[in-house]
Amino acid sequence: MPSVYSILRRRSAAAKLARVFERSEASTGRALPIRKTGRGIWAATPVRVIEATVKTLHGIGLLGDGGPPGHVIDAGTGDGRVSAVLAAWDPSRVVYGFETDTALYAQAVANLHALEADGCIDAAQVHLLEADYCDVRSYERGGIVLSQTAVVFNYPDGNERQLARFVAQHCGPQTTLCLLTHNRTLELDELPRRACHDVSDGTGPRWRLSLYRRSTGGINTTSSSAPASGGAPSGAPSD
Ligand SMILES: C[S@@+](CC[C@H](N)C(=O)[O-])C[C@H]1O[C@@H](n2cnc3c(N)ncnc32)[C@H](O)[C@@H]1O
């Protein structure tokens, strides 16, 4: 049972996250947070959908206190929102956010600094790299041991098969690739899909979280519909 203090702390963090990334979207001067980058397409996931996704990952035991050890790779961090939510919800876990687009990378750095100044995250736990997530040299330069990766998170923009091949070849058998898509389940030849969960922020359409990994051990293979935000799956942070 979470304490009143932790519920209030999470609510305050959620409000700060929403504010920082609304400002970040507005600063692009675009009607929609979407544009082409050198490597793919930047499209921003709504912060509340990311929060619902992270709750689901806590609920199925992939993140949080009971989750497997290891860091998280936020593959294609955009303006840093997934890394920020992960850091706010799982403060003891190291997150590496990769982005090749220089402007987005700079935006992500600024957003994480703003959130740290607000007391929402500990920026020392989040490492942003202006680098290609499918290049082993990016990890070597960052001192990142790929075999210690618990989770790789990606919002697919056309590079998901290349990423799945990279995970299959370079990460451990227990590393879980998590793809968040609008409403379709992607089948990948490169890594078997082990589970699939619907996630929603309670207001918009459902998104789908598909989990892929080499090994079946330690993963809840039943597919499910995650309750809307506010009704966390059992074991997840419950506010
Ligand atoms: C669909 S956006 C998702 C942004 C963010 N994760 C979110 O959910 O709001 C995908 C991002 O991945 C970046 N990207 C694509 N391929 C990449 C690569 N090989 N290395 C690093 N970043 C990449 C793109 O530039 C883009 O910003």
Of 218, 193, 219, the C-alpha closest to 208 is 193
Over pLDDT 70: what percentage of the chain?
A: 90
- pLDDT, tens only, 120-156: 999 899 999 999 999 999 999 999 999 999 999 999 9
Position 193 pLDDT exceeds 70: yes
Q: Whose CA is nearest to atom 23 of ligand 1?
A: 76
For the Cβ of 78 lying below 6 angstroms from any atom of ligand 1, the answer is yes
4-225: what fold? Rossmann fold (3.40.50)
Q: Whose CA is nearest to atom 26 of ligand 1?
A: 42
> For residue 147, what is the enclosing H or E element?
none
Question: In angstroms, rounded to a whole number, what is the distance separating the alpha carbons of residues 194 and 112?
Answer: 32
Which residue type occupies 98?
A: F
- pLDDT, tens only, 63-114: 998 889 999 999 999 999 999 999 999 988 999 999 999 999 999 999 999 9
For the Cβ of 81 lying below 6 angstroms from any atom of ligand 1, the answer is yes
Question: In angstroms, rounded to a whole number, what is the distance separating the alpha carbons of residues 92 and 101?
Answer: 28
Contacts of 74 (CB under 8 A, 6+ apart): 82, 83, 86, 95, 96, 97, 98, 153
Q: Do 153 and 75 touch, CB atoms closer than 8 A?
A: yes
Question: In angstroms, rounded to a whole number, what is the distance separating the alpha carbons of residues 239 and 191?
Answer: 33
Q: Whose CA is nearest to atom 19 of ligand 1?
A: 132
Average pLDDT over residues 13-38: 90
What pTM does this model have? 0.91
Please measure the distance between the N-terminal and C-terminal CA atoms of the chain and give it in whole angstroms: 10
Over pLDDT 90: what percentage of the chain?
A: 71
**Residue ranges of the domains in the chain?**
4-225
Q: At what angle do helices 102-117 and 81-89 cross, to 10 degrees?
A: 30
> Which residues in 169-184 are b (16+ Cβ under 10 Å) and which e?
eebbebbbbbbbbeee
pLDDT at 234: 29
Mutate to test the pocket of ligand 1, among 45, 47, 100, 154 (most ligand atoms within 8 A of CB): 100
pLDDT at 31: 83
Name the least confident of 33-42, 144-153, 197-206, 227-236: 227-236
pLDDT at 230: 32
SS3 at position 41 = strand
pLDDT band at 221 (very low <50, low <70, confident <90, very high): low
- pLDDT, tens only, 194-215: 999 999 988 888 999 999 999 8
pLDDT at 66: 85
Question: In angstroms, rounded to a whole number, what is the distance separating the alpha carbons of residues 65 and 205?
Answer: 29
> Which residues in 212-228 are b (16+ Cβ under 10 Å) and which e?
bbbeeeebeeebbebbb
Residues facing 62 on adjacent strands:
none
Q: What is the mean pLDDT of the chain?
A: 89
**Degrees, nearest 5: CA angle 229-233-239:** 50
